[in-house]
A and B are shown apart, each in its own frame.
Chain A
Amino acid sequence: MDELVRIVPYFGTHNPKVARAIVLALILVAPILALGIGPAWVRILDFALLYVMLAVGLNLVVGFAGLLDLGYIAFYAVGAYTWAFLASPHFGVHLPFWIVLPLGAGFAALAGVILGFPVLRLRGDYLAIVTLGFGEIVRIFMNNLNHPINITNGPQGINMLDSLHIFGWDVSRRIVITDSFSINSLLLYYYVFLAFVTLSVILVQRLQVSRIGRAWAAIRDDDLAAKAVGINVRNCKLLAFAMGATFGGVAGGLFGAFQGFVSPESFSLMESIIVLAMVVFGGMGNIGGVIIGALLLSWLPEVLRSYAVPMQTALFGQVLLDPEILRMLVYALALIFMMLLRPSGLMPAHSRYSRPDLVLANKRVGP
C-alpha cells in the first residue's frame, strides 16, 4: 500500500493520507468508471486482478527467494482444472467454492513440492529451464488425457464450469435492484477478486517482513552464507515454491469460475512469460511494483487493441499489426528494456524485510 501511495503525484510525497485516500477511491470506483466506457473494460479489469494475484505469487518465488520459475502457469492450470473437475457437469460434481478453492490451492502447492523436491538444488538458469519443462509436461498431459479415459477432455477443454457461488449468492448473476437499475456481474466479480487480491497482498506482505521472508532474501542473496547462519535452504526453497504455487492455484480456480471454461491453450509457456514480464517490469521483490506492473501490462495491450486498430485503419486503410502481435511486442520489449535499462524494475525494491521503525522508535537509527 505504501508503495502504491508513493506514486500518486504530489500528494504521494506531501500528504500521504490524502494519497492513500486517492488510491483507495481509485481502486473502488475503477470498475464503475470502466463500465462507463463499456463492459469489456470491466472484464479487462477483472482479468487484471487475476494477473495481479499471479504476479504477486510469482514475485514471492522469483523476487523474494530468487528462484526463476518459468513454469508458474502450471500451478494456475492445476487450480483451474481442479475447479473444472469438481464444479462442472464434466464429472457431474458440483462442490461449493469453499471446498474447491482450498483443494485447488492445496493441489497446486503439492505440485510445487513435487516439482521442487528434486530440482531445487539446481542453479538459477538450470532451474528456470527445468521448471519450463515441467510447465510443458503439464500442458501435454492436459492436451492428451482424454484417452483412453477422458479426464481433461483434451484440447477442447472443459465447458460450463460452475460460477462462483458465495453461500448461495451467485456472483455471475446481476443484482437487479429496480427495473432500470441493476449491478453488472462483471462488477461483482471485480469486488470479489479485489477481496482475494487484498488478502493475498496482506499475507505476502506478512511473509516478507518475517523470519521466513528474511530467510528467503538471504538465500536469494547468498545461499552459502544462508546455510552458514543456520537456514535450512532446501526446506525454505520448497516453502517458497509451495507458497507461490498456492497463490497460483487460487487464482486458477477463480479464473475457471469467472471464464466458465478451461482449455490447455490458456496455460501456455507464453502465459508464464507474460506473468514474469509483469514481475520484472514492476520490480522484482517489490509487492507494490509488481501490482503496478501487472495492472499496466494487462491494461496497456488492451488499450493498444482498442486504439491501434481504428488508428491503423484510419492511417493506412488496413490493419498492419494485429492486436495480439502488439500485445506480444509490449511484453517482449518490457522484458528486454527493463533488464537493459532499469534492471530493478519500474519501482525498485527498497529493502524491507523488517520494521525497525515500530520497535526502535526511540533509538537513533541512521539512514
Chain B
Amino acid sequence: MIKLLEAQGICKHFGGLQALTDVSLSINKGEIYGLIGPNGAGKTTFFNVLSGAYTPDAGEFVFAGSQLPYGEAHKIVERGIARTFQNIRLFRELTALENVMVGHHTRSHAGLFGILFQRKQVREEERLVTERAYELLKYVGIERFANTVSKNLSYGDQRRLEIARALATEPQLLALDEPAAGMNATETTHLRSLIETIRHDGVTVLLIEHDVKLVMGLCDRVAVLDFGKKLVEDVPAVVQRSAAVIEAYLGGAHAA
C-alpha cells in the first residue's frame, strides 16, 4: 500500500471551541476513504483545513511524499487535491461547460500577453480545454446541458457538475463533502456508481458523508470523528461493530 495522504496531529480551534484535536489519519493510493461522524464532529473543519481554507493550529499534511503548504488553497489544488462543497458552490452565471473549463485553470497556462495577441499556443490550448471540459461533462453524464447556465441546472446535475469541475483540476485525491446530501434514492445510486468509476480511473477518493449506509457500502476504509477527535480508523466491517462508534451515534445510554 502506498500512502497518498497522511494527516499528522491536526489541531484547529475557533475561539473557545476545539474543533479538531490531534487528528491523524492516512489515506492509501487508490482507495475510497470515508470520514463519518455526527453533526458538528469536525468533518467539514477537517476538510477545510486540508483544502487550505483554514490554517491548522498544529499538525501537518504529507501528500504524495511531501508536506502541503498551509492556508493557500490554490497551491493545494496545484499539488493534486480537489474538493467539492457540502452546499454546492458553482459559478452561477457560467454555463456548465465554462464551469468545467474554469476547473482546468491550474492545468493550463495562457498568460496575459498570449491572450491579448492570441498566440497560437493559446488558441490551441483553448480548443483543448474546451474539448476536455466537454469530455468531462460526458464522463459525469450531463453533456447535453453543456451550454446551460449552471444556476438553471437541477440539483442532482449541479452535484455532478461540481464533481466534473473538481476532476478538471486533474487531482490525485478527490475530496467530496457530503455529495449525497439532498439526493433521492435513484440519484444516490447514480452517484455511487460515478464515485466507483472515478476510483476505477485512478483517482483516490475522500468521502465525507452523513449517509452511513452509503459510506459503509462504498468505502474501503472509514474513520470516525466525534467532538473533533478520531475514534477509530478501519475497514467498514470493524468500524460498524466498534463500541465507541455506536456510542457516538446512539448516545451514552446504549454503550453499556
Q: Do any CB atoms of chain A lie under 8 A from CB atoms of chain B in the complex?
A: yes
Q: Which residues of A contact B (CB under 8 A)?
A: 203, 206-207, 209-212, 214-215, 217-218, 220-222, 224-233, 239, 243, 285, 349, 351, 353-356, 358-360, 363-367
List 8 interface pairs A-B (beta carbons < 8 Å), by A numbering.
A217-B93, A221-B91, A225-B90, A228-B82, A229-B105, A230-B105, A231-B74, A366-B146
Chain A residue nearest to B89 (CB atoms) is A225
Answer whether A228 and B83 are a contact pair too, CB < 8 Å, given A206-B115, A206-B116, A217-B94.
yes
Q: Nearest chain A CB to B75's CB is how many angstroms away?
A: 8
Q: Is A365 a contact of B147 with CB atoms below 8 Å?
A: yes
A-B contacts at CB below 8 angstroms, number:
142
Answer whether A224 and B134 are a contact pair too, CB < 8 Å, given A211-B108, A366-B145.
no
- Sample of 4 more A-B contacts, CB < 8 Å, known A212-B115, A214-B94: A210-B122, A218-B102, A226-B91, A353-B98
Chain A residue nearest to B129 (CB atoms) is A211
Q: Please, how many angstroms separate the alpha-carbon atoms of A358 and B134 in the complex? A: 13
Give the contacting residue for A356; candidates B97, B116, B145; CB below 8 A. B97
Residues of A contacting B97 in the complex (Cβ-Cβ under 8 angstroms) = 354, 356, 365
Answer whether A365 and B146 are a contact pair too, CB < 8 Å, given A210-B126, A222-B91, A353-B98.
yes
Q: Is A221 a contact of B92 with CB atoms below 8 Å?
A: yes
Q: Nearest chain B CB to A188's CB is how many angstroms away?
A: 27
Q: Please, how many angstroms separate the alpha-carbon atoms of A297 and B148 in the complex? A: 33
> For residues 154 through 192 of chain B, which have their beta carbon under 8 Å from a beta carbon of chain A?
165-166, 168-169
Residues of A contacting B109 in the complex (Cβ-Cβ under 8 angstroms) = 211
Chain A residue nearest to B110 (CB atoms) is A211
For B, the interface residue count at a CB cutoff of 8 angstroms equals 51
Chain B residue nearest to A344 (CB atoms) is B93
- B107-138 vs A: 1/0 string, CB under 8 Å? 01110100110100010011101110010000
Answer whether A227 and B74 are a contact pair too, CB < 8 Å, given A206-B118, A356-B97, A360-B134.
yes
The answer to whether the Cβ of B225 comes within 8 Å of any Cβ in the partner chain is: no
Residues of A contacting B165 in the complex (Cβ-Cβ under 8 angstroms) = 229
Q: Which residues of B contact A (CB under 8 A)?
A: 51-53, 73-74, 77-78, 82-83, 85, 89-95, 97-98, 101-106, 108-110, 112, 115-116, 118, 122, 125-127, 129-131, 134, 143-149, 165-166, 168-169
Chain B residue nearest to A243 (CB atoms) is B112
Residues of A contacting B85 in the complex (Cβ-Cβ under 8 angstroms) = 225, 228
Q: Is B91 a contact of A356 with CB atoms below 8 Å?
A: no
Q: Please, how many angstroms separate the alpha-carbon atoms of A353 and B149 in the complex? A: 11
Q: Please, how many angstroms separate the alpha-carbon atoms of A351 and B149 in the complex? A: 7
Q: Is A359 a contact of B131 with CB atoms below 8 Å?
A: yes
Residues of A contacting B127 in the complex (Cβ-Cβ under 8 angstroms) = 358-359
Give the contacting residue for B89; candidates A224, A233, A351; CB below 8 A. A224
Q: Please, how many angstroms separate the alpha-carbon atoms of A228 and B175 in the complex? A: 11
Q: Please, how many angstroms separate the alpha-carbon atoms of A203 and B116 in the complex? A: 6
Q: Please, how many angstroms separate the alpha-carbon atoms of A227 and B103 in the complex? A: 10
Give the contacting residue for A229; candidates B102, B112, B115; CB below 8 A. B102
Residues of B contacting A359 in the complex (Cβ-Cβ under 8 angstroms) = 126-127, 130-131, 134
Give the contacting residue for B115; candidates A211, A220, A222, A364; CB below 8 A. A211
Q: Please, how many angstroms separate the alpha-carbon atoms of A214 and B144 in the complex? A: 21
Q: Please, how many angstroms separate the alpha-carbon atoms of A212 and B148 in the complex? A: 21
Q: Is A367 a contact of B148 with CB atoms below 8 Å?
A: yes
Residues of A contacting B52 in the complex (Cβ-Cβ under 8 angstroms) = 227
Most buried by B among A221, A233, A243: A221
Q: Please, how many angstroms separate the alpha-carbon atoms of A351 and B97 in the complex? A: 11
Residues of A contacting B90 in the complex (Cβ-Cβ under 8 angstroms) = 221-222, 225
Residues of B contacting A239 in the complex (Cβ-Cβ under 8 angstroms) = 112
Residues of B contacting A364 in the complex (Cβ-Cβ under 8 angstroms) = 144
Give the contacting residue for B105; candidates A211, A355, A360, A366; CB below 8 A. A211
Chain A residue nearest to B134 (CB atoms) is A360
Q: Is B102 a contact of A214 with CB atoms below 8 Å?
A: yes
Residues of B contacting A220 in the complex (Cβ-Cβ under 8 angstroms) = 93
Residues of A contacting B143 in the complex (Cβ-Cβ under 8 angstroms) = 363, 365
Q: Is A356 a contact of B83 with CB atoms below 8 Å?
A: no
Q: Please, how many angstroms separate the alpha-carbon atoms of A233 and B166 in the complex? A: 17
Q: Please, how many angstroms separate the alpha-carbon atoms of A203 and B77 in the complex? A: 30
Q: Is B148 a contact of A228 with CB atoms below 8 Å?
A: no
Q: Is A207 a contact of B116 with CB atoms below 8 Å?
A: yes
Residues of A contacting B83 in the complex (Cβ-Cβ under 8 angstroms) = 228
Residues of A contacting B147 in the complex (Cβ-Cβ under 8 angstroms) = 356, 365-367
Q: Is A360 a contact of B73 with CB atoms below 8 Å?
A: no
Q: Is A230 a contact of B106 with CB atoms below 8 Å?
A: yes
Residues of B contacting A233 in the complex (Cβ-Cβ under 8 angstroms) = 74
Chain B residue nearest to A354 (CB atoms) is B98
Q: Please, how many angstroms separate the alpha-carbon atoms of A366 and B149 in the complex? A: 11
Answer whether A231 and B130 are a contact pair too, CB < 8 Å, given A210-B110, A210-B122.
no
Chain B residue nearest to A207 (CB atoms) is B115
Answer whether A353 and B94 are a contact pair too, CB < 8 Å, given A228-B83, A230-B169.
yes
